[in-house]
Structure 1
């Protein structure tokens, strides 16, 4: 190894056996052992130091802790850390069509896009095209030496996106020998098995040292109905006993033990109801018919009966929802959970290599390469449709025609009319087109080459170039060409031939559709090859994201002060990212059911310069064992968003041998992703014709409404005269067309961060330490998306029409809204504050060593404001959705000779679903606390053979029983108790 370039001391390695420890505390315990190393680099700084003290809290997780928990994906452990939240995972991407199977981390619950993930201090290519979050599936756990988590803004040191902090994954750089590891996990209930295999090898030669690794992991999916607690399902229903908003009776109540089925029968169903009829439950119930396999009709089978609803007037959708069990399934298709999964199946292969070649005692070349391939599949229910079937349709049977003809009603003039012209046929048939599957294949390649060395006794350097690429192939099967299906169903008999016909807005036949193949869906269980060729299809999308980085750093000693050496680091970095998306023609033209995508091309370049400084102010003074000032500044020049900067000011004060204070104040930034900037325009529709500038809308506003005068003034400033009303044609229109599109005018988000911490290491108890840190984030200009209703509202309620919202509305010459744009804008404010508490204690007992560690996070404040207006401030503190007051993690490790016993306890505090809850709303607002316990035993049964046995979720803890959480795999363990077996053999 190069002189003075050792990155890890023996003391750190000892500390890591106990698992995660605060780096500042580790120094106090291991200071004497660390004297052999002169300068050490830690996450949160590019300055190599004479010890590990840092004003930024750094939690270190050793590779041994991954092994102690049987972890095969580092994100599984990060998700349990109190400082972090679940980003994306196979448990919460089961319904995502582009993010299926991704594993991302989320520090402080501020979003994965505000957490910077590094590998060996360098950026890694994003996991999804156009995004910034790193997919941790691509990092092999078998060669992870440690994971360092630096919480707090670190953009001044590492660049944009390090708002909540940095997760720096440090890999082994060399290895001597061969190691094989095999493990499997088997849940107590069906499905959800894990299989893992890795082989790691390397050699340490005179000048060359290297490590290579091949990892294979397979995570089986498991359906919601595979778990017993889900089969005893629960849901929220309207309370039939509720009489009003002030009766003290819950409006919604919990219904246990019943699974619900929706309409959309497999062979088709319809309501034969007169136009203008009262939409009551009885009307729907008595006029609902379902097709049988032979094409005949029967009254729709509602299984165990309709879901209770106190409203006499309901929608046809509500009229089709009913309860069922295994023996009374009824005619519906979409049962609760029947096509739903708790975890997306995931299969991945990773090959990686790292190496160092020493040119001489002072200079070395470094290289690394990683290739990974992940496959995941998300399954959804079959394509479901509502077809309009006219009375003269070629496939209307005599029985169906008689039902339609028997409906009587009076028209608007009071005349009796017999027969209806059309009905709506609902159908979802997996036997026709199959279930819809979304198959994701991601392939990642990343490689770098670099040089590092010593300039002189005081200065060193490092430089590297790296290139990364992720390619994402998505395939949708079980899809149909929507218009072709509608054409095929809309058939009639003309000149004795069944043909597809075209109709005008009143249903009158005006022509035939060439090339169309007629199809009768009513009672259908299959389709001919010709019909399949016309209707069914496969859709694809190929996407690619390239990342190229060049960076160079010099660090060393500027000069000496009475208190010590003034150290500095200077870095120059250039980065270029390019994202492209190419959908198949049927996707691009929006021809398939439910999905569309346009081509995208976006690129960005950024040049960065940074400086970091460490100045010792005092040493060996009264109440000042040491006092060091630290500062950092980074300037970033983005090709799209322009110039910006980030900075850090910090103090590190060793008050006594036992007590240390650290303070860190910083400004961090998050740059918009390529997706935020360049997302292609895609059409979407917003129902209704609401416009706040309409005279009748303004008239309904009370005089004391805070923003009424702003609305009147801004509407007139937008060219709409007093008393203005939209045209009758506009009012009579249906859904309003709009676009979801990127925004190249976005600016960087800005975060002001503060961390104040105390470290206490009592001398009278050897091996014990305490750490408490207060932290605060205030993010301005956070990127936010708004729908049409909010765009109109905030446009005209603002002080003037010169605002970000009005730019997303397009009015015609007569004032009618012609189009709207859902562009991301820098409008939101996020404030999050809290405390981190950590304590570790290591002692000898029973001829072995015990290492205890407790880590907890308390959320003091979690607010978001989407617009910056006081009225739009929302508090999320203590809410179920990722903001519990307390999260904690306790580990106990007992080591004796070649055996290790590890116990882990994870705790999540009780929460509420709604902070403004009253009994009038429901009877299920409170969510209980949640605790799980894991155990692992490992031992070397032979000199080179280690066996592992473990149990996760030892007490088979189910998610809390509320309608919102009983099946939530995002924050709770839905896999249940599971057993793991592993083996590691060293050659």
Structure 2
């Protein structure tokens, strides 16, 4: 399902308690708070008037400590009651129900096939990218869990330790620094907790899988006669995971299946299942035909990938030629995640005006994945023999002669069946017959990976008051560190495989075992290194010894560190006729560093995968900010309040130099019941370590179309001239009947490198918001109703991104842009006739060029009322609705816009609504989440000359519920159900834009689990 800073300055327990109450309760009335149990207006007024030591508090969206508590920025608040009622194991589940959040970059349901980030949980405000959403804990930065990025893993958040979540939407860099382009998500921990709170919960799906359970304990107490407080939290959770074979709409067996074969006619058509053409028994290609093995391991001519997998063994069962491989039988649909969390917080009043505080969090997250056994082929860019020519089934071998000498002869690999040997020819001119092969390495078992991620974070600091408590100050040091270790199995050492495929009879007993009949590797050096002959013909033919010699374990380690030192001062500078002039100033130093280390085979691209380099880098920044809030009018007709404000931040980076961000705000309250607000903000995002320092990582893009195909010796306009300027293209035209011609192998052989760019500059964003808050206090029946409506408009320029490769080709050959032509390398003259001039490399390096723009409207409603039926019973309603007007991406200014509003994962309309009934004995709540009708990517449809809305997904509605039984003041137990209506995720064709591999749907958008239940208990003392 799709789906700020508000901290309390502290001197003593009484001030903190009142500040928390004042901010929380009044924020619920003033802003679109997704909170349970909204306070009555009488309580609001009482809290507004309550004195509290200095009387100054911090308002979310501002760093100024002041007695007023209204915010000019759009703000939503989720409190701990909402978290409890969700039954969520991970806080990401709660956030994604809110329509201000887009499709997460990483979650349990979309990370199984990634080389890193498995099991990470992220959030993405406005679908502008996770790196543009700043995540804070208690108003301070959190170290990233993805090396080189600013993306925070929500697994590190102790769910039951959270008091509330503040969601500030819109640019906020002037207040919080880089990365707050789309907004801020601030997790506020509980404070001044006294007592013990424990809970345990167990859940599972209706199918009895994806078992989830958790246990949490929070304890706190005052110390030193109430002059301090210390609190600790221990948490454990385990989500067992889900496999594709465990759901009918994702496994492939004896029923029809939606799939996309590359033919637009397949859209919306139910077709028979087809499987991978890499079968465990091997597929062997010769000039005389294709061969494979049947279910009884008998060699046969011909091959087919159609037919259902009735018995679930991974093989097609539709006849003797149906030998494709059913990958769905082995894929992970939702990765398992296990978490251990420890958090602590405390403070102590050194004097009446100085306080010391600390926070600490440790989290260990473990995740794993299983996917189908490795597919390997003889040729191709990631094959055993990437230069082509296939697998030599004959080898030049040395053997003894009868006269005692030695001769070099041609000998056939003894493993090769006669039928294949007789059908093969010499395809590369080396005098030896060869074949091509494709084989699923089921002998290795499924590919698997385990990830261990350790998170450390601690904060120490001081705060207090000066100038007769008119000003608050704080100074702190924040250190964060994340270490990740990943181990994967099922990969291949390509060099060892090449040696193991070159096999001969041991004519001269070179291995000294007394036999001249056994088989050995041809290469003597390989034999000395333990080479074992590899038989790839037939299922299960690879010996355990050969597997041990060929297989390669992959490793991946990362390390991330963050240092932040900051100091802030805020308060009332002087008293104006309309109220106090509020000011805040502060300074911050931050250093970020990260590294990624892969194993040597991965670095060299010798594990049948892409070449990936190690990366490391760091940067630091010194920042200063100032904020002012000026009341203009108050308590006058049509001007209950008129206030303007602004902030500016200057930052000096060791990488991009000096950056500026600023904002302006206005709030007008014509009458007590209506408040109009507006903001403008210039925000920035400095490039992160990966964008700056990533080395060149190899990739083999698919779906590339060469614009030069068909170009002749003359004509074609600018396109023809630009294509013929490449000598290889001209040579190809002359040798192919006057037209540039390539084959499918040339397209599949296109490679390229992705990489960072140390010359990047910062992104710049302009955001506008305008809204109204209505609280009809004068109408008794509606005095507890709060309505908000906010318009937002965010435009980001100089977006850091690589140009799409097809766009690069278009710019070079159709537009004649030399900058893009420099990213393309074509094969030279002298290569094979059809390969001369074909594309060899298209590189994609990060640049500041693209434009992102989003625009929309948020509407929220909160209402509570007493019913008077049973004791102190109440009814509470909360709704949050989002309408996306546009969400556009432009790769380069002046070029065509790629709109995504209304596409899958970015529905134009979505909402979440909750209704809760409660009395002294029970609380019953229902939450509904609605995702509007959505469409396939229009660019994908255009590539096949189809209507821009060639695939659509109907609107989806999910209903959750929970019932809590309040036994007494200390004990309650609850039961709940998610996806109560048991909605199936909509089918999306495999091979289309939003299909998450292995899920046959957009698993990061729609619910893939089905109806599920949970039960738990809470104890409080």
Instruction: Determine helix, strand or coil for the equivalent of 2:500.
Output: helix
Q: Is 2:938 aligned against 1:951? A: no
1:982: how far off? 0.6
Distance 2:791 2:502 in 1: 66
Match of 2:339 in 1: 348
Compared CA separation, residues 70 and 292, structure 1 to 2 (3 A): closer
**Mapping for residues 509-908 of structure 1, pairs under 5 Å:** 515=529, 516-523=531-538, 525=540, 527-528=542-543, 530-594=545-609, 596-684=611-699, 696=711, 699=714, 701=716, 703=717, 735=749, 738-762=752-776, 763-764=778-779, 765-786=782-803, 788-795=805-812, 801=818, 803=819, 805=820, 808=823, 821-845=843-867, 846-847=869-870, 848-870=873-895, 872-880=896-904, 882-908=905-931
**Mapping for residues 278-677 of structure 1, pairs under 5 Å:** 287-290=290-293, 296-299=298-301, 302=304, 305=307, 332=323, 334-387=325-378, 388-392=390-394, 400-405=417-422, 421-430=433-442, 432-456=443-467, 457-493=469-505, 495=507, 498-501=519-522, 515=529, 516-523=531-538, 525=540, 527-528=542-543, 530-594=545-609, 596-677=611-692
Compared CA separation, residues 750 and 19, structure 1 to 2 (3 A): closer
1:185: how far off? 1.1
Task: Tell me if structure 2 keeps the 8 A contact 1:436–1:476.
Answer: yes
Distance 1:367 1:192 in 2: 37
Instruction: Determine helix, strand or coil for the equivalent of 2:58.
Output: coil
Instruction: Determine helix, strand or coil for the equivalent of 2:249.
Output: helix
CA distances 1:538-578 after superposition (whole Å, capped 9, x unpaired): 12121100000000000011222211111111010000011
Task: Tell me if structure 2 keeps the 8 A contact 1:689–1:731.
Answer: no
Q: Count residues with an aligned counterpart.
A: 925
Distance 1:140 1:580 in 2: 26
**Mapping for residues 182-197 of structure 1, pairs under 5 Å:** 182-197=200-215
1:110: how far off? 0.7
Match of 2:244 in 1: 224
Instruction: Determine helix, strand or coil for the equivalent of 1:794.
Output: helix
Task: Tell me if structure 2 keeps the 8 A contact 1:738–1:822.
Answer: yes
Task: Tell me if structure 2 keeps the 8 A contact 1:237–1:254.
Answer: no
1:631: how far off? 0.2
Instruction: Determine helix, strand or coil for the equivalent of 1:251.
Output: helix
Compared CA separation, residues 150 and 685, structure 1 to 2 (3 A): closer
1:300: how far off? 5.6
CA distances 1:323-359 after superposition (whole Å, capped 9, x unpaired): 9877879764631521222211100101010111111
Distance 1:756 1:520 in 2: 70
Distance 2:98 2:272 in 1: 36
Distance 2:787 2:682 in 1: 28
Q: Is 2:234 aligned against 1:214? A: yes
CA distances 1:908-952 after superposition (whole Å, capped 9, x unpaired): 001122558699749962210000111101122243111011011
After superposition, the CA RMSD in angstroms is 3.8
Task: Tell me if structure 2 keeps the 8 A contact 1:208–1:358.
Answer: yes
1:68: how far off? 1.0
Match of 1:245 in 2: none
Instruction: Determine helix, strand or coil for the equivalent of 1:443.
Output: strand
Match of 2:387 in 1: none
Distance 1:715 1:613 in 2: 62
1:9: how far off? 1.8
Deviates more, 1:48-57 or 1:120-129: 48-57
1:681: how far off? 2.2
After TM superposition, the score normalised by the length of structure 2 is 0.83
1:258: how far off? 4.6
Which ranges in structure 2 are unaligned for 5 or more consecutive residues?
1-10, 379-389, 396-410, 509-515, 830-835
Compared CA separation, residues 263 and 562, structure 1 to 2 (3 A): same
Match of 1:98 in 2: 116
Instruction: Determine helix, strand or coil for the equivalent of 2:1002.
Output: coil
Instruction: Determine helix, strand or coil for the equivalent of 2:540.
Output: coil
Task: Tell me if structure 2 keeps the 8 A contact 1:259–1:325.
Answer: no
1:863: how far off? 1.1
Distance 1:524 1:661 in 2: 72
Instruction: Determine helix, strand or coil for the equivalent of 2:149.
Output: coil
Instruction: Determine helix, strand or coil for the equivalent of 1:338.
Output: helix
Task: Tell me if structure 2 keeps the 8 A contact 1:759–1:769.
Answer: yes
Deviates more, 1:583-592 or 1:555-564: 583-592
Instruction: Determine helix, strand or coil for the equivalent of 1:236.
Output: coil
1:749: how far off? 0.9
Compared CA separation, residues 11 and 731, structure 1 to 2 (3 A): closer
Deviates more, 1:484-493 or 1:162-171: 484-493
1:767: how far off? 1.0
Distance 1:441 1:836 in 2: 39
Instruction: Determine helix, strand or coil for the equivalent of 1:467.
Output: strand
Distance 1:627 1:942 in 2: 47
Distance 1:688 1:934 in 2: 41
Distance 1:407 1:539 in 2: 35
CA distances 1:826-851 after superposition (whole Å, capped 9, x unpaired): 11111110000011111111231111
Distance 2:229 2:724 in 1: 71
Match of 1:48 in 2: 65
Compared CA separation, residues 977 and 273, structure 1 to 2 (3 A): same
Match of 2:1018 in 1: 984
Pick from 265, 275, 278: which aligns with 2:279?
A: 265
Compared CA separation, residues 401 and 364, structure 1 to 2 (3 A): same
Deviates more, 1:721-730 or 1:969-978: 721-730
1:92: how far off? 1.2
Compared CA separation, residues 556 and 395, structure 1 to 2 (3 A): farther
Instruction: Determine helix, strand or coil for the equivalent of 2:546.
Output: helix
Compared CA separation, residues 738 and 449, structure 1 to 2 (3 A): same
1:429: how far off? 3.0
Compared CA separation, residues 237 and 130, structure 1 to 2 (3 A): closer
1:470: how far off? 0.3
Deviates more, 1:83-92 or 1:959-968: 959-968
Task: Tell me if structure 1 keeps the 8 A contact 2:306–2:324.
Answer: no
Distance 1:811 1:401 in 2: 40
Compared CA separation, residues 238 and 189, structure 1 to 2 (3 A): same
Q: Is 2:930 aligned against 1:930? A: no
Match of 2:76 in 1: 59
Distance 1:234 1:692 in 2: 34
Task: Tell me if structure 1 keeps the 8 A contact 2:291–2:299.
Answer: no
Compared CA separation, residues 985 and 259, structure 1 to 2 (3 A): farther
1:620: how far off? 1.4
Distance 2:848 2:287 in 1: 49
Instruction: Determine helix, strand or coil for the equivalent of 1:655.
Output: strand
Deviates more, 1:39-48 or 1:446-455: 39-48
Task: Tell me if structure 1 keeps the 8 A contact 2:976–2:1014.
Answer: yes
Compared CA separation, residues 9 and 555, structure 1 to 2 (3 A): same
